[in-house]
Structure 1
Amino acid sequence: MQSAENMIYLASKSPRRRELLRQIGVEFELLQLRSDGRRGMDVTEEVLRGETPEVYVARVAHEKAHFAHRMVKLRNMPERLVMGVDTTVTIDGRILGKPGSVTEARGMLELLSGRSHQVLTSVALCSEAFQGQFTQVSEVRFCKLSAEAIQAYCNSKEPFDKAGGYGIQGMAGQFIEHISGSHSGIMGLPLYETAQLLKQAGLPLL
């Protein structure tokens, strides 16, 4: 068990990122950012005009970390590293976010079917003493999907909280012919690169 001084704040709602951090022995306290509500979102995940996938994912991760750090200071919480993370899926230069309907999910899966796409995950760390960030890119190739397989996957409800409309750790794992890059990065947190960044920031890991 790490001491409180070696904990970080995690500005993410993703249960997969929590599991991955625990896998490498990182203790954390969750900081939930608003994604809706009367006062609006804390960080916009809308794609801004002219943003490439690389610029978009890095901006969102940076804003999550820095907004959460400001929240820590305003609330007079103990000073610790704050981690913000964002993952996006891109194909043909197009950013695929989280589908809001069965129709959107089906369209995304039809686009990915039988082709390769990229999964980008950007991790940003912020504290009074340290700021650092990286973006990891993996390539994923899907097999050719039948209309029946796409519909069955959409019926499972798995696509609706995941960028690109699928999760490699779920039933969609059977669609993936090949990956090049980081399996954990495709899940939402590339462990090797994240561990290196945390070590740079002074967090004791193996």
Structure 2
Amino acid sequence: MPPGAKAPAPTLVLASTSPRRRELLARIGVVPSRIAAPEIDETPLKGEVPRAYVARLAEAKALAVARAPEEIVLAGDTTVAVGRRILEKPADETDLRRMLGLLSGRRHHVYSGVCVVGPDGKPRTRVVDTIVGFKPLSPVEIDWYVASGEGMGKAGGYAIQGRAEGFVRYLAGSHSNVVGLPVFETLGMLRSAGLPLG
């Protein structure tokens, strides 16, 4: 940079193609300058616990994206866990029914790993945990939800911002975390990294 030249203001790269994450950021006035699709293997490691799993994936996604010196990279990963069991996206309707059966009438955890790589190039990762309790689900309710198609492509087989909100009788923690990005914590991390925010 020439002497006396002003460093460009940091800009945000969202290392995710999730429309839900973009929508959550837009709600707080944060619009990424570009979107990048990180390509990583998301298979859990043998014996890996959910909290460690989402932290590892969030950091791997953030580091998989090429970053210019003035860019801040944000990546996230969210999973649903029943005990130590990680519920990934359902493979098919049979798998979705299995997941809904596991969640029926009990509490589970939704973990999100959030990683921010600032201008210094160092990844900073945080894990946010929300506890969600479902009402007991009848076979008719499970059939209704599976038929809606809403649960496919979602970690844990449900979308709290959709019809599944009617199953939730208890929630402790961040609602936006269950949607896919803990907004409060993410905003603090972006501020710390130097992203200009209002």
| TM-score of the aligned structures, taking structure 1 as reference length | 0.88
Q: CA deviation at 1:78?
A: 6.4
Of all paired residues, the percent bearing the same amino acid is 44
Q: CA deviation at 1:6?
A: 4.1
Gap runs ≥5 in structure 2: 1-7
User: What is the number of residues matched between the two proteins?
Assistant: 189
Are 1:156 and 2:148 counterparts?
Answer: yes
CA deviations over 1:46-70 (Å, ceiling 9, x no partner)? 01112111111100000000011xx
CA deviations over 1:132-155 (Å, ceiling 9, x no partner)? 111000000000101111111111
Alignment equivalent of 2:51, drawn from 22, 30, 54: 54
What residue is the counterpart of 1:30 in the other structure? Answer: 35
Asked if the contact 1:143–1:176 (Cα under 8 Å) also holds between the matched residues in 2, the reply is yes
Moved over 2 A (4+): 4-7
More helix by percentage:
1
Asked if the contact 1:140–1:178 (Cα under 8 Å) also holds between the matched residues in 2, the reply is yes
SS in structure 1 opposite 2:89? coil
CA deviations over 1:20-55 (Å, ceiling 9, x no partner)? 11111112011023xxxxxxxx21110111211111
The change in CA–CA distance for 1:78 and 1:201 in structure 2 (over 3 A counts) is closer
SS in structure 2 opposite 1:178? strand
Q: Distance in 1 between matches of 2:98 and 2:71?
A: 41
Q: Distance in 2 between matches of 1:197 and 1:127?
A: 10
Q: CA deviation at 1:160?
A: 0.9
Q: Distance in 1 between matches of 2:171 and 2:189?
A: 23
Gap runs ≥5 in structure 1: 34-41
Q: CA deviation at 1:204?
A: 2.5
Q: Distance in 2 between matches of 1:7 and 1:79?
A: 7
What residue is the counterpart of 2:160 in the other structure? Answer: 168
Q: CA deviation at 1:9?
A: 0.5
Q: RMSD across aligned C-alpha pairs, in angstroms?
A: 1.4
Are 1:19 and 2:23 counterparts?
Answer: yes
What residue is the counterpart of 1:88 in the other structure? Answer: 79
Asked if the contact 1:137–1:181 (Cα under 8 Å) also holds between the matched residues in 2, the reply is yes
SS in structure 2 opposite 1:161? coil
